Structure 1
Amino acid sequence: MRAPWLPWAAMAGILAGVAAIQFAIGRLPICACGYVKLWHGDVWSSGNSQHLTDWYTLSHLAHGFVFYAVLRWLRPGWSVAWRAVAALLVEGAWEVAENTSLVIDRYREVTASLDYYGDSIVNSFGDGVAMLAGFFLAARLPVVASVVIVVAMEGLAAWMIRDNLALNVLMLLWPIEAVREWQMNGVPPATRP
């Protein structure tokens, strides 16, 4: 007899495990400001990546759409719930890696995120939940709708904060000075280095 609750328990366990690992490596549970906001929209402030959601939540929603497409192709015989478990394992691994000194320093060296010091645990939790939301949306929507949503999210983030998932990956792996300069032109003058 199958246990339909098992993948959901696995997802809860992954979220808890990621939080435990991050706590063990010294990540703050919540913003050092002492409170948690549902949304924090100022990417140039110390509260960025410290609250439940922010502009980078769009990137994690996009992860869900991408992971759904890849896992549907790689593992068509798996249920949607078990594919979501696999996607959350990848997302959780990234959340842990992203909050190591090595990756934080890389962000600060080659991107416009000069004051990035990593995510709070609550922000990483929000990122994981956003990825799952994107994943399950992709499972229900037609492919064309999924593509339109991802392109719209990428465009909105690029317009609002001069960053998005594609630019983030580009700048981490193959930094382009012209892109960095364009991103830095969006930094409020009071916060520029």
Structure 2
Amino acid sequence: MNKNVRPLLAALCVVLGTAAILWLMGRPPLYKGGLIQLWGPVGPKQSQMIFDWYSASHIIHGFLFYAILHTIGRPKKPEQRLLLATIVESAWELVENSPVIINRYREATIALGYRGDSILNSVSDILLMIAGFLLAKRLPVWASVMIVLVLELVPLAIIRDNLTLNIWMLVAPNDAIRHWQAGA
């Protein structure tokens, strides 16, 4: 087997293993009644369908992981970097869907009714990170920066949330931001 293919197969195994762990954690595979839609708008279907407003943040994860791992140069091969990024993203999906983080989202952010992700949405999030990583590998830095800016600014303008605010509100909740996000 080609040595460059092994990390890619390992990454696929990580994604499948993450889905199995999420199932063992009691996460629903799909939205109620097995409904599958391409888009989960803000509301009860958010984080339950293939894509939602937070899908953009996972693409950004891929860009950031590529930049960080490319800069530090370890591991050396892009396929190994992708495997490491997939492990980190998968670990985040497991943590994000733990009761502690689900409750933190409910307490600290505008996601009052957040119930966690469906397995379908979590797997999609990991695959979007991989897509972002692969895009970053192929694009010039200026194009990557522009894509990240658009992926941050569009959700900010439409739903008043994005990766930056999401992290900010989880780490250091701010009443002024929460008030603004609520549209008040």
User: TM tier, shorter chain?
Assistant: over 0.9
Deviations 1:45-85 (A, max 9, x none): 21100011111000000000000000001225622111111
Query: What is the percent sequence identity of the aligned residues?
Result: 45
Is the contact between residue 75 and residue 81 of structure 2 (CA under 8 Å) also seen in structure 1?
A: no
Q: 1:74 is matched by which residue type in structure 2?
A: I
Deviations 1:83-137 (A, max 9, x none): 1110010000000000000000000001000000100000000000100000000
RMSD: 1.3
1:102 to 88, 100, 110: 100
- The alignment partner of 2:106 has SS state of helix
Following superposition, the deviation at residue 17 of structure 1 comes to 0.8
Is the contact between residue 69 and residue 75 of structure 2 (CA under 8 Å) also seen in structure 1?
A: no
- Which residue of 2 is the match for residue 191 of structure 1? none
- Which residue of 2 is the match for residue 113 of structure 1? 111
List runs of 5+ in structure 2 lacking aligned partners.
none
- Provide the TM-score with structure 2 as the length reference: 0.96
- Which residue of 2 is the match for residue 16 of structure 1? 16
- Provide the TM-score with structure 1 as the length reference: 0.92
Q: Give the paired residue count.
A: 184
- Which residue of 2 is the match for residue 65 of structure 1? 63
- Structure 2 distance, partners of 1:46, 1:22, is 19
Runs of 4 or more off by more than 6 Å in structure 1?
none
- Structure 2 distance, partners of 1:65, 1:77, is 16
Following superposition, the deviation at residue 4 of structure 1 comes to 2.6
Which sits farther off after the overlay, 87-96 or 75-84? 75-84
